[in-house]
Amino acid sequence: MSPRLQETLLSAAQAVFPQALELSRRIHAHPELRFEEFKASGWLADALEQAGFEVQRGVGSLSTAFIARLNRGPGPNIALLAEYDALEGLGHACGHNLIGSTSVGAGLALAKANLDDLSGTISVIGCPAEEGGGGKAILLEAGAFVGVDAAFIIHPYNQNLLHTAYLARVAYDITYMGVPAHAADSPHEGINALDAANLFFAGLNALRQHVTPDVRMHGIITHGGDAPNIIPKETRVRVFVRAAQAKYLQKLILRVRAVIEGAAMMTGCKVELQDYSPAYLDMRSNPVLMEVFRQTSEQLGRTFAPSKTEGGASTDVGNVSHALPTLHPTYAIGEVKPHTEAFARAAISPEGEQCLRDGIAALALSVATLLEQPQLVQAAWEAHRAQDEV
């Protein structure tokens, strides 16, 4: 990238930072759960529309999803992914206020820079419900990513990482249905749905010995009955099952379902099984995009720790990474772990603000690099197809 273009972009990133910071703080102060992010999505879409983006709202039947496009002629279509949903009881303890504002801020910077000598499309895709709802999986199915050549998103974390091995995940809501009875007077006339739920967890725990070490299986009883003196007529369980590879997870699901059904058979209960959300796929980090982002980040003074090759969390960005070249790096905002009150505080701390400032510049520089050198996009697709063959 020419020094003149780089200077123009960095100046534009600096100019839009106050607006992005205000958006981040406002979203943090008004946390909204999955599929209910009406304020956040509206604020972000409005900012892009006012900057000259063509904005389509309510994409893929999701009221809080949007696509904003800035078309500068023929060339690659590079997407910046915005997340903005919060967590139950913890607010923005995963820093999605930063994620959404960083991607939108980069889009604003690219629009402000007025890059007449670069051709292509800059897209900002507003993706609701990363926390459990699988918004990106739904948007993929609806065709929202058709024509996109590469996608970037930066997540706040406690380290600077180019790659994190996110796990594939399925999530189920299980309902066991029994027969109520007086728990003291006539328990023999009842069929205990809570027994079925307890046996399910016992079976799940027994299964742990016979799965690969990367597997994570965890759940909660969301309804355990109505009163101690009534044999529970209905119980409900929510369970997440994760594995490093989606292919192995598909085999594991069959065993988990056998445990679910076995608990019903042992107690005489009926059982219903529903998907809590679309399945999340494992993460594929595109090596070409990794190198582009590494170079732009190092220009800003960000260096990266060794990639995290063993995952623990899951993200629907993994689904996007199976469909097209994608990068999901992290920027440190302090020695804090996600999904904690400390992380929520860090998301509006000086370290969080620096993450936002650096992220806007790094994404703007990375997108401009791909528009300036479309051969890199072709190389990214070749690397993506090679990952499919592994």
- Render pLDDT for 40-52 as a digit per residue (tens, 0 to 9): 999 999 999 999 9
pLDDT at 3 over 90: no
As a whole number, mean pLDDT of residues 113-131 equals 93
Spell out the alpha helix ranges (H) of 114-219: 135-141, 193-207
pTM above 0.85, yes or no: yes
Task: Look at residue 257 in the predicted model and tell me its pLDDT.
Answer: 97
Tokens of 191: 């069929």
Secondary structure of residue 367 in the 3-state scheme: helix
Q: Give the separation between CA 319 and CA 315, rounded to whole angstroms.
A: 8
| Ordered DSSP codes for 296-341 | HHHHTT---BPPB-S-----THHHHHHHS-EE--EEE-SS--SSSH
Task: Look at residue 115 in the predicted model and tell me its pLDDT.
Answer: 82
Q: Are strands 77-82 and 121-126 parallel, antiparallel or unpaired?
A: parallel
Task: Look at residue 274 in the predicted model and tell me its pLDDT.
Answer: 96
Provide CB contacts within 8 A for 144, sequence distance 6+.
59, 60, 65, 67, 125
- Residue 55's DSSP bridge partners are 68
Number of H helices, E strands in the chain: 11, 12
Task: Look at residue 221 in the predicted model and tell me its pLDDT.
Answer: 98
How many other C-beta atoms are found inside a 10 Å radius of the C-beta of residue 340? 14
Task: Look at residue 88 in the predicted model and tell me its pLDDT.
Answer: 95
Residue ranges per structural domain of the chain:
3-166+281-389, 168-275
As a whole number, mean pLDDT of residues 289-305 equals 97
38: enclosing H helix or E strand: helix 38-50
Write the pLDDT tens digit of every residue in 171-199. 999 999 999 999 999 999 999 999 999 99
Q: Are 155 and 337 in contact (CB under 8 A)?
A: no
**How far from each other are the two terminal CA atoms of the chain, in whole angstroms?**
33
Q: What is the DSSP letter of 48?
A: H
Q: Are 210 and 252 in contact (CB under 8 A)?
A: no
CATH architecture of 168-275: 2-Layer Sandwich (3.30)
Check residues 59 and 389 and name the one with the higher pLDDT.
59
Does the 3-166+281-389 domain belong in CATH 3.40.50.300? no
Tokens of 11: 């100046």
Task: Look at residue 311 in the predicted model and tell me its pLDDT.
Answer: 76
Q: Are 362 and 153 in contact (CB under 8 A)?
A: no
Topology agreement, domain 3-166+281-389 and domain 168-275: no
As a whole number, mean pLDDT of residues 352-371 equals 98
Q: Are 316 and 130 in contact (CB under 8 A)?
A: yes
As a whole number, mean pLDDT of residues 277-296 equals 97
pLDDT at 389 over 80: no
Res. 390 pLDDT band, cuts 50 70 90: low
pLDDT at 27 over 80: yes
Q: Are 94 and 35 in contact (CB under 8 A)?
A: no
Chain mean pLDDT for the chain: 96
Write the pLDDT tens digit of every residue in 266-285. 999 999 999 999 999 999 99
Q: Give the separation between CA 74 and CA 18, rounded to whole angstroms.
A: 31
Show the CA angle centred on residue 43, arms to residues 40 and 49, nearest 5°: 135
Q: Give the separation between CA 77 and CA 149, rounded to whole angstroms.
A: 5
Sign of CA dihedral 289, 292, 296, 298: positive
Task: Look at residue 114 in the predicted model and tell me its pLDDT.
Answer: 79
261: enclosing H helix or E strand: helix 246-267
Show the CA angle centred on residue 38, arms to residues 35 and 57, nearest 5°: 90
Q: Read off the amino acid at residue 265.
A: M
Task: Look at residue 42 in the predicted model and tell me its pLDDT.
Answer: 98
Q: Give the separation between CA 376 and CA 295, rounded to whole angstroms.
A: 14
As a whole number, mean pLDDT of residues 251-262 equals 97
As a whole number, mean pLDDT of residues 300-311 equals 91
